Chain A
């Protein structure tokens, strides 16, 4: 994904660009992708990514992988309820 895309580039020209299979700035792209998935990216970064992502295969793959990992962590990893004994112990110690 070309992070320094010229603003004068017409949208129509982008449509004709072939899919890139190598990303020149992939380290920076990864950081941006993670920030976007974390909800911490600026509007400008999100907009830039939205416009450019579908032309860069490594970025598409990275986005899907990062999203998949994040979703797995959030949805699949077991969350145990706090043992009732512990809740009781805390409450009784504080005379609640």
Chain B
């Protein structure tokens, strides 16, 4: 068997120097966001470290399929999300491993998703909450709902970028966000109630 000295480039291909340049200039700046996303997905510091490391190594390995100047952050987040699903979700340490299908069914009915009853929560109760309280409410959501809120409200991705990252139609992005936010409001409302707020 002949030894291949260098991998054939997929497109024009980067030189090794170009690979490192693209990696440093376009990928490394997003590492904080990637780390936070990984941590919120895995809820475990060690797993988050491994997930980020795996993702960046994959990103380098497949760097030829990344076009310079395009949306590196979305490209990286997609790799991380896929790695999470393939490698980490199975050994999730989440106490309540919610089957997404089950949640989807529960929240699929128009009534549940559209809240003909609005969640009884006041804006000023939310304003008084500190970061930890909001974070706890967020972390208590099933991972697929947590993900869309993180991508939209924390990382500021557009619906179109989210659709590409998650590999779902834009319509599903909208409806999943809507359901996720309703669920988050309920969690916040419960929290506000426990803290003695008159919501």
Contacts and interface: CB of A to CB of B under 8 A. Distances in A.
Contacts of B178: 30-31, 34
Interface of B: 20, 23-24, 28, 31-32, 34-36, 39, 49, 52-53, 56-57, 60, 110, 114-116, 118, 121-123, 126-127, 129-132, 134-135, 138, 149, 152-154, 156, 158-159, 174, 177-178, 181, 184-185, 188
Given A69-B185, A76-B134, A40 B158 contact: yes
A79 interface: yes
Interface of A: 26-27, 30-31, 34-35, 38-40, 58, 61-62, 64-70, 72-74, 76-83, 86-87, 89-90, 93-94, 96
Contacts of A87: 28, 31
A69 B127 CA distance: 8
Main secondary structure of the interface of A (DSSP, over half): helix
A39 B158 contact: yes
A82 B159 contact: no
Contacts of A86: 31, 35, 49, 52-53
A31 B36 CA distance: 28
A72 B99 CA distance: 28
